[in-house]
Structure 1
């Protein structure tokens, strides 16, 4: 995975590899958000101090939420509903839409053509319980000719 990530960083070999480790979202209700990210996105909910984090394999979302006073934070800290995140879906866009429907999560937009980290893809957009915009992007397998 690291070699693939570096291929997108630049056309020449970097001195150091910089790969996103984690990012932060903010939620207004722990129980509701934990259930959503676990059941709809497949996250492992990880207790972290007074709050939680969401793990997706090697990726992680740290979560600011009720009862926490995190520091340091951005100059304008992220608020519940203020994130815009894309997750790679390994099935088809139709499978992603059906999965969302199974969880009573409305598709806001899509399937629609988009460009992501791995090139051209097809995306469906939806929202988490606080209103953050989430995206499932799918990539077609390479031609085997």
Structure 2
């Protein structure tokens, strides 16, 4: 099921924009990188360079996009006006049933703070669960929609 067809027509991606990366500020960069790699399956990028001081921050790759993990005191510029750890709230499409997302989080001892719940996403309705990363950012897994009888 798609969302409002009129809205979908009006908001067609006429510029062809796609997400390239997001930036998260972390109090403990190592812990945050480990969370997004070990639990969510990303691939660390420039971690060794960051550890040696030759990169300002590491990243975690997820296919065609990435998360840049900025230390709270990073000199990286430009920056958001008020960058701080735990301030982000974002949604990741989880291309499987919600039961698999719950199992993944439960096995990793990551508490679910909300859901499962039916949520409106960018392209359609999905079944979502919400959890927090080590800095308190709210992360949503938008899973395949499960309709009841």
SS of the residue corresponding to residue 94 of structure 1 reads: helix
- Conserved 8 A contact 1:21-1:59: yes
Within the alignment, does 1:19 sit opposite 2:26 as a pair?
A: no
TM-fit CA distance, 1:67: 5.2
TM-fit CA distance, 1:10: 3.5
Q: How does 1:1-145 map to 2 (within 5 A)?
A: 8=8, 10=10, 14=14, 16-47=15-46, 49-66=55-72, 68-77=74-83, 79-140=84-145
RMSD of aligned residue pairs (Cα, Å): 2.2
Query: Aligned partners of 2:113, 2:126: CA distance in 1, in Å?
Result: 17
- TM-score, normalised by the number of residues in structure 1: 0.82
Could you list the runs of 5+ residues in structure 1 that have no partner in the other structure? 1-7
Query: Aligned partners of 2:9, 2:42: CA distance in 1, in Å?
Result: 27
Equivalenced residues, count:
133
TM-fit CA distance, 1:20: 2.0
Of 22-31 and 119-128, deviating more is 22-31
- Conserved 8 A contact 1:22-1:60: yes
Could you list the runs of 5+ residues in structure 2 that have no partner in the other structure? 1-7
- TM-score, normalised by the number of residues in structure 2: 0.80
SS of the residue corresponding to residue 125 of structure 2 reads: strand
Query: Aligned partners of 1:121, 1:138: CA distance in 2, in Å?
Result: 6
SS of the residue corresponding to residue 51 of structure 1 reads: coil
TM-fit CA distance, 1:120: 0.4
Query: Aligned partners of 1:139, 1:93: CA distance in 2, in Å?
Result: 7
